[in-house]
Amino acid sequence: MIKERNTKQKTVILSAVRSAKIHPTAEQVHAMVLADMPNISLGTVYRNLNHMAELGQIRRISVTNSPDRFDGDLSPHHHICCSECGEFNDRFDLPYDKSLDTLAEKKTGYKITRHETVFYGLCKNCKKSIKN
């Protein structure tokens, strides 16, 4: 059994992800915590973000054509991504259908823990400016 240590780095990284209104990339988290700890390294940020994601304290999200993003909001919710400018957020409210997990479990034999839905489309701005 590994005993885990509390370090200032872990504290500031976790609170940065939790307080972020955007879904920050590792690099963005690094920029945020540099204010509190000018010497913290990007490698440490990655190591801790990965660790926290494994412990289930935060969530890691993969998006095409973008570095991975991290989300401190653990409640089940959906995400939306603009195919044009890459804007990525969860500022909308749609039901999370937990029964889908049970259903998928029966169909596949997997032990399902969760599902993630990402909507793709054009955000308001890009919708306007494209018009082709």
Partner DNA sequence: ATCGGTGCAAAGGTTTTGCAGGCGG
Partner DNA sequence: CCGCCTGCAAAACCTTTGCACCGAT
> By the criterion CB under 7 A, which residues form the site for DNA?
2-10, 25-27, 37, 39-44, 46-48, 50, 65-68
Part of the chain binding a copy of itself (CB under 8 A), chosen from 7-15, 18-26, 33-41, 88-96: 88-96
User: 92 in the Ramachandran plot: left (φ > 0), alpha (ψ -120 to 50) or beta?
Assistant: beta
Name the 3-class secondary structure at 99: helix
User: To 10 degrees, the CA torsion angle through 75, 78, 82, 86?
Assistant: 30
Part of the chain binding a copy of itself (CB under 8 A), chosen from 1-9, 14-22, 38-46, 101-109: 101-109
For residues 80 and 119, the answer to whether their CB atoms sit within 8 Å is yes
For residues 89 and 22, the answer to whether their CB atoms sit within 8 Å is yes
Q: Which of 7, 42, 98, 105 binds a copy of itself (CB under 8 A)?
A: 105
Complex with a copy of itself: residue 31 or 123, whichever CB lies closer? 123
Site size toward a copy of itself, by CB under 8 A? 38
